Amino acid sequence: MASTPLSAWPGTTKAQPPLRPEAEYALPDVPQQLTVRRLPLARRLLQHPALRKAIILVVLALAWELAARWQDNDLLLPTFGQTATTLLRELGNGVLLGKAAVSLGILLQGYLLGVAGALLLTVLAVSSQWGRDVLTTLTSMFNPLPAIALLPLALLWLGLGQASLLAVLVHSVLWPLALATYAGFQSVPETLRMAGRNYGLHGARYVLQILVPAALPSILSGLKIGWAFAWRTLIAAELVFGASSGKGGLGWYIFQSRNELYTDQVFAGLALVIIIGLLVENLVFHPLERVTVKRWGVQR
């Protein structure tokens, strides 16, 4: 049976779309000479991130100096000037540089071991269901456990030395980095996954060429979090014992200075811990982000 058009039914009319009147707009003529207005000097200077960060540091230092002068007790809170003088003196005589070298050497070893373990666990998790269950179970068990809480067991099993510190450092890096990397892999779009499979990629090549570049923002965040966890865990562990047999790092230096009531040296050690953190953030992670995820347009 042939269908009847809607307009053929009684009492129905075909709706017409509304018609908008045509309009022409005349654009203003382009001026012969365009005037360029320069921003004020202060505004141009404040557009540089380094200057803004320097202003923040100056404000914090000024607040520290005022608080110390108001406290008027060098044993409790030395002034910023006293701390800076002590820091320069201890750096000049090589004491703090030696302590920092010991701490950074141990930190680098534990950090690299933790990164390798996290990548291995994550690759297993994206390769099989058993690997995924292993990763989720272990991270649920050990990630909430503070690394410093394992220090007594590390001392009991591995003794006073470098191995105990490496154990707690690997624990502090492994689980947050594994979680961040796995979350990044899970957020990779399905179109990229299908493109990799269409090219015949599988196994390690599929992970390295498809998943890792797409999940690099999460991986970099995990690397920064793991670095921060490892650095503060190392300093806390060194407050209990030396970095290795017969040697001590920055944490041990701070602990000894506190026992001898050299508060200015305590603050100088803490200042060097902060300075090293700032240097690693601005000289390692920021350039790495700039040449990878920001250059690729993955991150703003």
- Backbone CA torsion sign across 234, 235, 236, 237: positive
Span 222-245, average pLDDT:
81
Residue 203 per-residue DSSP state: T
Judged against a pLDDT cut of 60, whether residue 1 lies above it is answered with no
Contact 118, 125 (CB under 8 A): no
For residue 266, the tally of other CB atoms under 10 A from its CB is 21
For residue 255, the tally of other CB atoms under 10 A from its CB is 19
Judged against a pLDDT cut of 90, whether residue 177 lies above it is answered with yes
Span 151-159, average pLDDT:
83
Rounded-to-integer distance, Cα 227 and Cα 280, Å: 9
Please name the residues in contact with 266: beta carbons below 8 A apart, sequence gap of 6 or more: 254, 257, 258
pLDDT in tens, 68-102: 999 888 888 899 999 999 999 999 998 899 889 98
Mean of the per-residue pLDDT values of the chain:
84
Report which of residues 22 and 88 the model is more confident about.
88
Tokens (6 digits) for 69 = 């002068």
Judged against a pLDDT cut of 60, whether residue 3 lies above it is answered with no
Q: What integer pLDDT is reported at residue 247 of this predicted model?
A: 66
The distance between the two most distant Cα atoms of the chain, rounded to a whole number of Å, is: 104
Residue that has been written with the tokens 């991986």 in this structure: 219
- Global pTM value: 0.79
- Backbone CA torsion sign across 104, 105, 110, 111: positive
Among the residues of the chain, which ranges form H helices? 41-46, 49-71, 80-92, 95-127, 129-142, 151-158, 162-186, 190-198, 204-206, 212-214, 216-238, 250-259, 263-280, 286-291, 293-296
Please name the residues in contact with 224: beta carbons below 8 A apart, sequence gap of 6 or more: 281, 285
Rounded-to-integer distance, Cα 84 and Cα 94, Å: 15
The residue among 134, 114, 111 whose CA lies nearest residue 124 is 134
Judged against a pLDDT cut of 80, whether residue 220 lies above it is answered with yes
Please name the residues in contact with 152: beta carbons below 8 A apart, sequence gap of 6 or more: none
Q: Over pLDDT 70: what percentage of the chain?
A: 91
Tell me the C-alpha to C-alpha distance, in Å, between residue 126 and each of 115, 132, 151.
Answer: 17, 7, 31
Report which of residues 296 and 225 the model is more confident about.
225
Please, what are the domains in the chain?
86-295 (1.10.3720.10)
The residue among 248, 273, 255, 241 whose CA lies nearest residue 154 is 241
Judged against a pLDDT cut of 50, whether residue 244 lies above it is answered with no
Residue that has been written with the tokens 């004491």 in this structure: 95
- Kindly write down the DSSP assignment for every residue of 97-116, as one continuous string: HHHHHHHHHHHHHHHHHHHH
Report which of residues 245 and 287 the model is more confident about.
287
